[in-house]
Amino acid sequence: MTRRHPSVGAVRGALADQPTMSMFCTYQQPDLIELFGAERMVRLPIAENTMLGMAVGMALLGRRVLVSIARAAFLFTAFDQLVNEATKWRYMSDGQFTVPVVVRGLTQGGEQLGAQHEHAAHGLLSQIPGLVVAVPGSPNAAAGLLRTALVHPDPVVVLESPRLYAADWASLPEPEPTDAALPFGVAGRARPGRDLTLVGIGNTVATCLRAAAVLDRDGLHAQVVDLRTAAPLDLDGVTAMVRTAGGQVILVDEAPAGVSVMSALGLHLVRTGAVAPQRLDVVAGAPVPAPVSPPLSAALLPDEEHVVSAARRGAAR
Amino acid sequence: MIASDAAGARISAGAGTGNTQTMDLSDAYREMVRIRVFEEQVLACAAAGQVPGSVHPYTGQEAVAVGVLAARQPDEWVVSFYRCHGHALAAGVAAAGLAREILGRVGGVCGGKAGSMHIADRSRYLLGASSIVATQLPIAAGAALAEKTAGSGRAVIAFCGDGAFGAGAAYETLTVAAVLGLPLLLVCEENGWQDHTPSDLVRHRTPGETARGLGLDCAEVDGNDVTAVHRAAAAALAHCRAGRPQVLVAHTYLRHFHAQLGPQPPGEYRPAAERERWLARDPLTRVEATLAGPSAAIRKQAATGRERAATVREQATAELAEVFADALAADRPDPASAVTAVTAATWPPGATWPEAVTVREPAA
């Protein structure tokens, strides 16, 4: 008996609650058609730009659209509609219109699909004013953030790690106790700990939890923070959580570290005095496109060993 | 290439499918003159350095907006693009709110956030205007899908220029519109130019050929003849409302070329002969000739037609002179409103506006 993924319930619940909600897809799921009708499960050609533009137009008339774009990297084909239309129409009309569009896309890791299919885009998308960028770190968080996204009046991109939907998804470390709706811009404490703080987002939340389990055996008790949304970014909430543990912080991200969510967070933590600059570390993905061969992709992404060694290095300072 | 006669015959063959919209030529003329005078005022303000940003005047194309929108039901959505003042006025947007928006003054229809190129007015079913070529097409198709899904029986009208047919979004949108049977009327204002480039240099098919090649119904009409435009739009809308998307290509021309940015007059690089040929076919003059002419339907107006034309222009000039004087005397928007209407999400304190960013008073 397999447990149904929590996000399935989130989507079905929203479709049941909102008769004016539609789903845009290039593949129609037979069970959803049976439940909600082919008219609401709109099958479109593989034309992401127009698909997203149509979602904007439908949403402007007050009908919510969930766009399943398959791979988050395909969103780049629709970037004009996302950046120039979906997120700006409310502002340009001075609030006369809202655009309740939710876009779901898979990011990277574990599928070996290569550079054009795998991309952790949360840092890039977090630069778009007003766009909510949700990056669930667990199956329950995926459901919780989807529930909030599907009642939100403005565009939301939900970036989901393929790991959250792999066959063994139920074996992932699961910090959240329920699949209740999770608010945007509020980071969660995935694990308590008094000696240091590990901050993860998306894929790296599980990495941090595994690293924390290893560090426990050293007598280092790490709390793990799940950012949950790259935008809004819960700077003050993370700062408050960091202050409850010993003054060492490791920010862990699969996206490159350059101009990133973690660099913004790190700056804030230092400016507010929550961490001394020399006790702050970033463990991040390499600025390299995703290769296909497993040992190559593994070499580019942070794993728990990277986090554990960073923690040990920091503890020795 | 004008094919109004042939196209007109095709259109009337399709008429009689329930369309009851009629257009009063005098009303249409009044609206066209208002758009003309409004745009002349905007250009005067631009020349005086009073318009922030750019202006894409609609002068010369008034018959398209007025003729098409006279055929819509008042609750049918309109989607426009950066050359949107004419569409906005013809859709019923208040001249005062539009002028204040373009001039960046308080009381603008979009609070100063739209300026000239992105006008939206929910109260007039103007869904908005996009300043990126062809991006408004999928959005209009989505709105049409919303109407279809709601079973409203209403069409959505989208305007574009002929340059939009160079963009992939046009092909994608027309394909989807045909597949889904969307109630979408796409009106292409074919003025022969895309920015600095004559359209014929960068395409091997006209918009009409493209639309027909994609399997859509497409009528072509003399876009400077408001009666012909109206008749074609009314017939096309009847089909749209029944779930058959339509393309209407209106052949027209701009009196004031493409765009004006800052107080310098816009450049003119179109051939003089081409320009003169089109300016002689000005849509306003043609209605004036009809109103003053011997047509049986308006014979009683014939004697006073010319005077009426002068009166209509005087009235529009007086009305809009006051509107623009009032707008120019109005305050500029409160800088604090620059950060409103971005999103409903609660952006937590500290993440919203970094302390280093301050909202400054714009230069007077």
ipTM of the complex model: 0.94
> CB-CB: which of B113, B149, B351 is closest to A94?
B113
Q: Which residue has the tokens 């109407």?
A: B147
Weakest-pLDDT range from A130-134, B181-185, B295-299: B295-299
- For residues A223-235, give the mean pLDDT: 96
CB contact under 8 A, B345 and A47: no
Whether A291 has a pLDDT exceeding 70, the answer reads yes
Q: Quick check: B114 and A92 CB within 8 A?
A: yes
* pLDDT attached to residue B298: 52
**pLDDT at residue A1 tops 60:** no
Q: Once rounded to an integer, what is the mean pLDDT over residues A208-232?
A: 96
Q: What percent of chain B has pLDDT over 70?
A: 84
Please name the member of B110, B172, B180 whose beta carbon is closest to the beta carbon of A49.
Answer: B172
* Inter-chain residue contact A53 with B139, CB threshold 8 Å: yes
What's the pLDDT score for residue A126? Answer: 95
The verdict on pTM exceeding 0.90 is: yes
pLDDT at B156: 98
Chain A neighbors of B114, CB-CB under 8 A: 92-94
Contacts of B273 (CB under 8 A, 6+ apart): none
What's the rounded mean pLDDT across residues A108-113?
90
pLDDT at position B15 is 36
Residues 6+ apart with CB under 8 A from A10: A142, A143, A144, A146, A147, A150, A179
Q: Look at residue A244 in the predicted model and tell me its pLDDT.
A: 96
Of A225-234, B21-30, B248-257, which range is least confident? B21-30
Q: Which of residues 179-198 of B touch A (CB under 8 A)?
A: 179-180
Q: Do A96 and B122 touch (CB under 8 A)?
A: yes
Pick the residue with more confidence: B2 or A221? A221
**Chain A residues with CB-CB distance to B152 below 8 A:** none
- Is residue A28 very low, low, confident or very high in pLDDT (cuts 50, 70, 90)? confident
Query: Measured between beta carbons, which residues in chain A are less than 8 angstroms from residue B172?
Result: 45, 47, 49-50
Answer yes or no: do A232 and B346 touch at CB < 8 A: yes
pLDDT tens digits, A126-137 = 999 989 999 999
Confidence of residue B182 (pLDDT cuts 50, 70, 90): very high
**Whole-number pLDDT of residue B364:** 40
| Chain segment B73-123, per-residue pLDDT in tens | 999 999 999 999 999 999 999 999 999 999 999 999 999 999 999 999 999
Which of the pair, A221 or B363, is modelled with greater confidence?
A221
H helix count then E strand count, chain B: 12, 10
Instruction: Output the pLDDT for position A29.
Output: 86
Q: Which residues contact B93 (CB under 8 A, 6 or more apart)?
A: B109, B119, B121, B124, B126
The rounded distance, in Å, linking the Cα atoms of B171 and A265 is 43
Task: Give the best-scoring range by mean pLDDT among A25-39, A62-76, B295-309.
Answer: A62-76
Query: How sure is the predictor about B300, in pLDDT bands with cuts at 50, 70 and 90?
Result: low
**pLDDT, tens digit, for every residue of B265-286?**
667 888 999 999 999 999 999 9
Going by the DSSP 8-state scheme, the letter that residue A289 receives in this structure is: P
Residue B262 pLDDT > 90: no
The rounded distance, in Å, linking the Cα atoms of B88 and A93 is 13
Angstrom distances, CA of residue A247 to CA of A126, A243, B305, B309: 27, 7, 86, 81
Q: Nearest chain B residue to A44 by CA: give it.
A: B176
Residues of B in contact with A56 (CB under 8 A): 138-139, 142
Closest CB from A60, A63, A98 relative to B127 = A60
Which structure tokens are listed for A276? Answer: 């001394």
pLDDT-derived band at B305, boundaries 50, 70, 90: low
Average pLDDT over residues B120-140: 98
pLDDT at A287: 94
CA distances to A95, A228, B333 from B327, in Å: 22, 47, 12
- Can you give the pLDDT at residue B163? 96
| Cβ of residue B79 closer than 8 Å to a chain A Cβ | yes
B122-128 average pLDDT score: 98
3-state per-residue secondary structure call for B284-343: HHHHHHHHHCCCHHHHHHHHHHHHHHHHHHHHHHHHHHHHHHHHHHCCCCCHHHHHCCCC
Chain A nearest CA to B255, separation (Å) = 28
Q: Which of A13-17, B305-309, B322-326 has the lowest mean pLDDT?
A: B305-309
Q: Determine the pLDDT at residue A110.
A: 84
- Is B247 at the interface with chain A, CB within 8 A? no
Q: What percent of chain B has pLDDT over 90?
A: 74
A139 closest CA partner among A234, A4, A49, A12: A4
> Which position among A5, A117, A119, A122 bears the catalytic label?
A117
Q: Quickly count: other Cβ atoms within 10 Å of residue A19's Cβ.
A: 9
> Cβ separation of B146 and A61 shorter than 8 Å?
yes
**Count of CB pairs separated by less than 8 Å, A with B:** 172
pLDDT of A302: 94
As a whole number, mean pLDDT of residues B134-139 equals 98
Please state at what angle helix A261-271 crosses helix A235-243, rounded to 10 degrees: 60
Residue B117 has φ and ψ, to the nearest 5°, of: -100, -10
Preferred mutation among B145, B154, B334 to probe A, highest tally of A CBs within 10 A: B145
Residues of chain B neighbouring A154 (CB-CB closer than 8 A):
343-345
Rounded Cα distance, A209 and A192, in Å: 10
Which residues of chain A does B175 touch, with a Cβ-Cβ cutoff of 8 Å? 45, 47
Q: Indicate if the pLDDT at residue B252 is higher than 60.
A: yes
A117 in active site: yes
Chain B residue numbers touching A28 (CB-CB < 8 A)? none
Mean pLDDT of chain A: 94
Half-sphere exposure of B270 (CA within 13 A, CB side): 21
Provide the pLDDT for residue B291: 79
Tell which of A22, A24, A61 to mutate to test the B interface (max B CBs under 10 Å): A61
